Amino acid sequence: MTTTVTLTGTGVPIPSPGRAGAGVLVRYGETMLQFDAGRGTVLRLTEAGVGLHELTALFVTHAHSDHVIGLPDVVLGRWIQDHVWQTGPLDLHLPAGAAAEFAARMLDPYAADIALRMEHVQEAPPELRPHAFACASEPREIWSRDGVTVEAVAVHHEPVPDAVAYRVRTPDGTVVISGDTRVCDEVEMLSRNADVLVHEACRTTALRAAVAGTPFEKIFAYHADTVALGGLAMRAGVGHLMLTHLIPAPDDEAGEGAFEQDVRLGGYAGTLSVGRDLMTATIG
């Protein structure tokens, strides 16, 4: 079989044409793992040819709204069509703390809708199956099935206290998804010899003077500088670096080229993709 990595959303909280909210799909045979669920995730999965009933599990990196706002849509959409596919609840893996608290309450605003649907079609309410885990500075395995394993490690997205990156191992190779983080040793360790690293990217070095004294200066401080990211990918021996969560979102090829120039300046010479929604990489 072949492992594929699909960017289901490359955007940030500020909407940008053609860019859904944060999300990555890793597929190995019939095992389909979604990481984060930003705005538009359900539509992007549909465009990628993946039905909600086909998802094996969903993993959340942290509680920022642009990474979880599409999560109720995934859960409710799967539930609404359950009488057709009979797939049952979706396993949801996420850090303990704010992300787990969000998941526990996220369907509350839909109580009336759920009750109405149960009056005429659905036999039971949507069932959440959350699996919360403690963040740790060393990678720990949190999921395994059919030759595929997922590990998590705490990253540095302060002031967010509970944020993680994930490493997926399949018989074909290794995929790492950074979530939101500064360039840090934990992700570098997790990415050692990874076939694909999907990493958020912020043009901090290039735009430092432009954002000085503005709120963006604080925002840039807890995201990954593209130049430093190039150094991380080089040292870790990453085979293919895919940039996502692009700050600021490029609107043309020249803008994408600026991201690439930053990463190359940092020293990375491997395969590089400046992410677009539904861009796919293949391992195996």
Measure the CA angle with vertex 227, ends 16 and 4; round to 5°.
60
Inter-residue contact 95 to 135 (CB < 8 Å)? yes
Q: Which residues, in sequence order, are bridge partners of residue 272?
A: 241
108 is catalytic: no
Q: How far apart are CA 122 and CA 83, in angstroms?
A: 7
Q: How far apart are CA 133 and CA 225, in angstroms?
A: 28
Ordered alpha helix ranges (H), the chain: 41-47, 65-68, 71-80, 82-85, 98-105, 111-120, 185-190, 204-211, 215-221, 226-236, 253-265
Low-confidence ranges of the chain (pLDDT < 50): none
Inter-residue contact 168 to 143 (CB < 8 Å)? no
Structural domain boundaries enclosing 99: 3-283
Residue among 66, 162, 180, 262 flagged as catalytic: 66
143-173 pLDDT, tens digit each = 999 999 999 999 999 998 899 999 999 999 9
Q: Which residues, in sequence order, are bridge partners of residue 271?
A: 240
CATH number at 137 reads 3.60.15.10
What one-character DSSP code corresponds to residue 29? Answer: T
Asked if the peptide bond before residue 248 counts as cis, ω within 30 degrees of 0, the response is yes
The pTM assigned to this predicted structure is 0.96
Dihedrals phi, psi of 213, to nearest 5 degrees: 80, 5
Token reading at 44: 């992007």
Q: How many CB atoms lie within 10 A of CB 185?
A: 11
**18: closest CA among 26, 27, 9?**
9
Q: Output b/e per residue, 156-173; b: 16+ Cβ within 10 A.
A: bbeebebbbbbbbbbebb
Total count of domains within the chain: 1
Q: How far apart are CA 152 and CA 191, in angstroms?
A: 12
